[in-house]
Amino acid sequence: MNHLNGSIPPASRNRSVYRATIAAMAVGLAVGISACGTADTIEPAEGDNVETSAPVTTETSVAATEPEESSDTGSAMAMANLADVDGNSVGEVTFTEKDGSLLVSVAVTGLDAGFYGFHVHQIGECEPDSAAPDDPSDTGAFKSSGGHIPGQEDAVHPNHAGDLPTLLVGEDGAATMDVATDRLDESLLMDDDGSAVVIHSKPDNFANIPERYSAEGPDEDTTGAGDAGERLACGVVEG
């Protein structure tokens, strides 16, 4: 018998070839389906020992990170637009309540380099040519804004509520400064007659007059405004 001689009958050979052809077609079909699928998902081949409840993916998920909002400062409570005697804008000042204090932020441009007296005055008027409210004979630029907000009764410079650090302008004519003060609050800035921010033409000496310069100490001009000179720019504080 041919079976005993190790040979395969023609019918058996035909069946073997048929099975091999079907297997090859199945593999080709699986490869074709995989190639036509999306690049994000790889489906396991039939018969593989792989869980089929969830597809295998090659996508890398990256979560978008939104920037956190800063809680250091709130929105500005009030602001003042600063202008010189000709009406030219020189900058602005904002007032923001923060941690029980008032944050005063100033940004100016177009000034000569140097130090400038910087104060909050007690009346919200910035008339370029005007008289001081308490002395009609005292006239000049922005005199309508009155003196510094005193805060405490009989306070003298530099202990007024409206006294602030001297503003330093760089060679580019610009200056920025942030300072927190507990002397000022909304009730002082936004009272019935308002308030104004003033930049003076000279540095503020904060009434620091040693006795070797004056045995009698600082005079009325010094205790009034620190000898800061004329009023260079002014801005009404508005809520």
Residue-wise pLDDT tens digits, 77-102: 999 999 999 999 999 999 999 999 99
**In the predicted model, what is the mean pLDDT of residues 56-62?**
42
pLDDT: which is higher, 178 or 52: 178
Q: Give the percent of the chain with pLDDT over 90.
A: 65
State how far the Cα of 112 lies from the Cα of 115, in Å rounded to an integer.
9
C-alpha distance from residue 150 to each of 102, 120, 129, 171 (Å) = 16, 10, 23, 33
Residue-wise pLDDT tens digits, 137-152: 999 999 999 999 999 8
Asked whether residue 41 carries a pLDDT value surpassing 70, the answer given is: no
**In the predicted model, what is the mean pLDDT of residues 202-227?**
93
Asked whether residue 114 carries a pLDDT value surpassing 80, the answer given is: yes
Residue 187: pLDDT band (50, 70, 90) is very high
State how far the Cα of 215 lies from the Cα of 40, in Å rounded to an integer.
88
